[in-house]
């Protein structure tokens, strides 16, 4: 069997299992939940990877999985205690397993696994990981659960009569990729409901090429037939499930994949991301062409053409919405790898930190999701290094010894807010101020820093108050990298900090990088696009309540005072007149970002348009005012304004 065509499928599913392995290891180390359940989940994930890799012919991955599985079985039986050295080895084995999988699929040089396999085999026979070493920190609840488990009489699966269970027969869809893997996944799903015994053929045979996707087993547990069937079908590519209740002596459920039974077919397919990118590019060109057609039709005044164009426009809009929906994925696909990162960074620095994740279900465009990983890594590592104190420091300040770090995602209209918050020491404004004075970044007479000034300073390239370079940070790479990346994505970064209470950094991002609604603003002969997500309203400057505050023009709108910014000055165009305030023909765009507002004055407002965002690399030393460009309906280019740069 040629398995190379299934390599991407193997890699995708293996990454899901690796994520589960890392989460289970973190849970085991923290002592949360029932230890037996956590070890069981670990064992099942490793066992599935073993079966998949054996089927694919990735022998190094299978060998390492086998030894890791053997070790976990000893932990599950109570032969090995969960100690800190053992946890370190398990994390190391998980990292090596991940590298072995990536290299196997990429057909790269083999990962050296012999050393880690020998260490796994030697556990319990030396003074290293295993029964020796310091026990991990755990809660009293977890300790009581383990004690109760040891005191209880274990139930032997072999002692349960198969006749007391439910007989289940499963048939996979013909020519299913990796049928053995699907079968193992189905059994693991059912095991979450109860016990599985008398598997035929044996699970070891699932890895052989002769296995064609039909197997039987006996289920022991209270779950009804419908729940058993649902669990099996959730893995996909299942053709038929027959559940027979031996205790009831009747056929409880028979669901065969044909027209007469309602046909529960597989509703999901895997699509190469490059195809989605291609579709997105094509719909973008359609949107540009649609704008061009509207411009042409406007000069022809043909009713039939207008009707046809309106219908085509609706169809293009529907197609755009469907493609955008296909590209939306939940942020947990990126967030799930951060608990392990925080754990490793905290151990390196001798700190104790927990990471809480909120809003995992919030969705972002796939391309956006791929881009936000690195900025979040910088924020988390900086929070662990600079924000969270050591356990001793925290206890002296009356704080819990364990630092708290929160990563959250939330929707805000057509934006997504990504927040990283810590309950640490906060940013030392005095230290930042001294550093800024020493480096000549601010006026020596400056006595204090606002949050905005603080943000501008710490986001300067290379700016760092760290006295020593560590493995985590201190090289002047952090907030500036976050600021540059987020702005390149059409977003903005905000920071709030309080001494002794912690810091919150918020990245505001658009849902997608591809298409957005924009307000067109003209200054002389130049047209600029301003994202509608940040436009609150527009007014004429004529009759507006304009005043001055500390010598600068401000707009008073419904008792709200906001600064006036002339786009002409920002983009470097010459003054229209020598007047302090612009003349009455100009228009005002009220822009809001988070809790801030600004009045942007332009010459004209040609209208709104759906624009296709084209990213570009900024010119060295050039303005950071623009996040991209677009093509307007008349074929002319327009720059997209980064609204955060106007504040």
Spot the catalytic one: 47, 378, 386, 534.
47
The yes-or-no answer on residue 358 being catalytic is no
Q: Which of 188, 242, 382, 415 is catalytic?
A: 382
Q: Please spell the DSSP secondary structure of 161-217, one letter per residue.
A: -GGGSEEEEEEEPTT-SSHHHHHHHHHHHHHTTSEEEEEES-GGGGGSTT--SEEEE
Handedness of CA 462, 468, 469, 474 (dihedral sign): negative
Secondary structure of residue 223 in the 3-state scheme: coil
Q: Which of 69, 98, 371, 586 is catalytic?
A: 69
Instruction: Give kind and range of the element (H or E) at residue 288.
Output: helix 273-298
13 is catalytic: no
What are the tokens at 217?
A: 């087993």
DSSP states along 565-604: EEHHHHTTPPPS-S-SS--TT-EEEEEEETTEEEEEEESE
Is 47 tagged catalytic?
A: yes
Distance CA 347, CA 88 (A): 10
Do 203 and 184 contact (CB within 8 A), yes or no? Answer: yes
Long-range contacts of 101-105 (CB under 8 A, 24+ apart): 101/11, 101/14, 101/15, 101/18, 101/49, 101/53, 101/58, 101/61, 102/11, 104/53, 104/56, 104/58, 104/60, 104/61, 105/7, 105/8, 105/10, 105/11, 105/58
Cα torsion at 612, 617, 623, 626 (round to 10°)? 10
What's the number of CA atoms in the CB half-sphere (13 Å) around residue 55? 30
Residues catalogued as catalytic: 47, 69, 382
């Amino acid at each position: 069997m040629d398995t190379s065509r299934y390599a991407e499928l193997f890699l995708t599913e293996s990454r899901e299992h690796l994520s589960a392995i890392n989460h289970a290891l973190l849970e085991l180390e923290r002592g949360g939940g029932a230890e037996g359940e956590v070890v069981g989940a670990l064992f099942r994930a490793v066992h599935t990877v073993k079966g998949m890799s054996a089927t694919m012919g990735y022998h190094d991955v299978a060998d390492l999985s086998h030894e890791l599985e053997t070790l976990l079985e000893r932990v599950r039986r109570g032969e090995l205690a969960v100690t800190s050295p053992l946890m370190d080895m398990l994390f190391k084995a998980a990292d090596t397993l991940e590298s072995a999988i990536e290299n196997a699929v990429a057909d790269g040089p083999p990962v050296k696994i012999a050393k880690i396999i020998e260490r796994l085999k030697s556990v319990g026979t030396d003074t290293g990981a295993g029964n020796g070493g310091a026990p991990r920190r755990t809660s009293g609840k977890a300790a009581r659960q383990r004690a109760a488990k040891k005191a209880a009489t274990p139930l032997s699966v072999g002692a349960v009569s198969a006749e007391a269970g439910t007989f289940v027969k499963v048939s996979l869809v013909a020519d299913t990729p990796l049928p053995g893997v699907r079968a193992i996944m189905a059994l693991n799903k059912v095991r979450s409901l109860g016990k599985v015994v008398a598997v035929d053929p044996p699970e070891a045979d699932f890895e052989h090429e002769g296995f064609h996707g039909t197997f039987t087993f006996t289920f022991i547990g209270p779950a009804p037939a419908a729940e058993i069937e649902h669990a099996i079908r959730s893995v996909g590519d299942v053709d038929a499930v027959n559940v027979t209740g031996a205790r009831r002596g009747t056929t409880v459920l028979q669901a065969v994949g044909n027209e007469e039974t309602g046909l529960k077919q597989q509703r999901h397919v895997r699509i190469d991301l490059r195809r989605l990118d291609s579709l997105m590019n094509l719909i973008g060109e359609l949107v540009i062409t649609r704008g061009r057609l509207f411009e042409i039709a406007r000069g022809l005044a043909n009713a039939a053409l207008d009707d046809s164009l309106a219908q085509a426009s609706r169809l293009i809009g529907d197609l755009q919405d469907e493609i955008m929906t296909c590209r939306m994925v939940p942020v947990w696909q990126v967030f799930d790898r951060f608990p392990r990162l925080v754990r490793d960074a905290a151990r390196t620095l001798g700190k104790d930190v927990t990471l809480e994740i909120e809003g995992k279900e919030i969705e972002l465009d796939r391309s956006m999701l791929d881009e936000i990983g690195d900025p979040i890594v910088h924020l988390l590592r900086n929070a662990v290094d600079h924000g969270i104190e050591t356990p001793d420091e925290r206890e002296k300040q009356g704080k819990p010894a364990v630092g708290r770090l929160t990563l959250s995602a939330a929707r805000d209209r057509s934006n997504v807010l990504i927040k990283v918050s810590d309950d640490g020491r906060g940013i030392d404004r005095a230290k930042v101020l001294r550093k800024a004075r020493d480096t000549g970044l601010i006026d020596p007479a400056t006595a204090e820093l606002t949050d905005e000034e603080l943000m501008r300073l710490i986001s300067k390239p290379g700016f760092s108050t760290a006295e020593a370079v560590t493995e985590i940070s201190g090289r002047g790479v952090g907030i500036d990298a976050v600021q540059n990346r987020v702005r390149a994505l059409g977003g903005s970064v905000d920071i709030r900090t309080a001494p002794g209470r912690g810091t919150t950094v918020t990245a505001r991002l658009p849902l997608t990088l591809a298409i957005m609604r924009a307000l067109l603003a003209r200054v002389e002969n130049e047209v600029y696009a301003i994202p509608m997500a940040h436009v609150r309203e527009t007014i004429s400057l004529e009759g507006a309540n304009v005043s001055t505050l500390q010598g600068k023009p401000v707009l008073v709108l419904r008792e709200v005072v906001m600064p006036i910014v002339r786009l002409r000055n920002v983009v470097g165009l010459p003054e229209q007149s020598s007047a302090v305030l612009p003349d009455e023909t100009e228009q005002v765009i009220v822009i809001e970002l988070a809790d801030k507002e600004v009045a942007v004055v332009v010459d004209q407002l040609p209208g709104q348009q759906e624009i296709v965002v084209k990213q570009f690399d900024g010119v060295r030393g050039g303005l950071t005012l623009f996040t991209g460009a677009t093509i307007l309906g008349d074929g002319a280019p327009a720059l997209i304004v980064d609204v955060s740069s106007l504040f």
